Amino acid sequence: MTPRPDSLVAAEARVRQLAESFGGDPARWPEADRLGAEAWIAAHPAEARHLLDDARSLDRLLFAWEAPRPTEGVTKRVQSAAPVQVRQSRRRSWVLTLTGGAALAAACLAGIVAAPRLVDPVVRAAAAPVYASDPDSILAEAMTPWEAPVAEPAMEARS
Amino acid sequence: MSRPVTDALGRIHSEGPAASSRVDDPDADLVRRVGAGDALAVRALTARKLPRLTALAARVLGDAAEAEDVAQESLIRAWRQAPVWRFGEARFDTWLHRVTLNLCRDRLRRVRPGGPQDLESLVDPGPAPDRGLEARDVGDRVAAAMAILPARQREAVVLCHYQEMGNIQAAAALGISVEALESLLSRGRRALRAALSDLVA
């Protein structure tokens, strides 16, 4: 017997997994797998039938469990609740938007007003330039770089 | 390939190159109109979703009356959500399923602290006089088999088999990966097959 290529074995295994998880109808399988699986099914009809029939028999059983339908009462209650719920939600959304906007605007305004006052007084003092205000001080400041150094009297002159 | 992931609100996001893609939602137009206060849209969305959510809750809870309460609460939340719904981030139907499942889980925790095994005695698929006795019996057997499945497996089978959700949407509704969903489905169906082995042809 000729061994089957790995790709075929993998494709069969994947079809088996899909049938076990999602049932025997390929239309309900994940889209990403469907094309490849359907190609394998078309190429191997006998093996595919065996795999899928097995899954379909469980599908048929599961469909025998019917769910209750909603009553007229709950339908009316749900519909009559809608206008109030929608209105309240829209109002809440508006209030949140307005309060959010107002809070942001207030925060910006407060920041603009308060920022100069919030600067540390020490930093402010250090950063501010100090100017001399009287003529003597101005002259002293101007002459500072030119002040001649006071030298020791020369030893030769003394002797 | 991108992988869908969900956040705490059930919104679908994609990882990878398709991360910026928008979710195509067949309910978007109705939701927009409901949010604008359109009474006809409310009726249309009720007709589309209420039977679906009632069936989901009934199969998860195993109780028709409780299922009706849960479906009602889910749709009331939908009315509140419609005006502020962020289109393109998730399918409205997926979000609704997630809300319904959470409400079901809350009820199961509150009313039946014993866990899923307590469900079997509460299964009530409801009378169906127009059906043959055999079909009803089979339905009852299926309901009983579903009731003893672990909760997550039951939810996965209900979403994919009965609610006809695709794997990405069902995984999003459950807040799990598609791989985890497939594993839950496989184990769930295997357990159902074992429980119903005398009926499987």
Mean pLDDT by groups of 10 residues along chain A of 159 residues: 64 94 96 92 94 95 96 98 96 84 77 68 59 63 55 47
Whole-angstrom Cα Rg for chain A: 45
ipTM of the complex: 0.78
Q: Which domains does chain B have, with CATH numbers?
A: 3-195 (1.10.1740.10)
Per-residue HEC secondary structure of B146-199 comes to HHCCCHHHHHHHHHHHHCCCCHHHHHHHHCCCHHHHHHHHHHHHHHHHHHCCCC
Give the N- to C-terminal CA distance of chain B in Å, as an integer.
39
> What per-residue confidence (pLDDT) applies to B18?
40
> What per-residue confidence (pLDDT) applies to B56?
98
Confidence check: pLDDT of B117 > 60: no
Q: Where are the domains of chain A?
A: 7-63
Quick: pLDDT tens for B42-85: 999 999 999 999 999 999 999 999 999 999 999 999 999 999 99
Partner residue opposite A58 with nearest CB, options B125, B126, B193 = B193
> What per-residue confidence (pLDDT) applies to A96?
83
Kindly determine whether residue A65 and residue B142, on different chains, have CB atoms separated by under 8 Å: yes
Shortest CA distance from B38: residue in chain A: A83
- Minimum distance, in Å, between the CA of residue B176 and any CA atom of chain A: 16
In angstroms, rounded to a whole number, what is the distance separating the alpha carbons of residues B130 and B173?
34
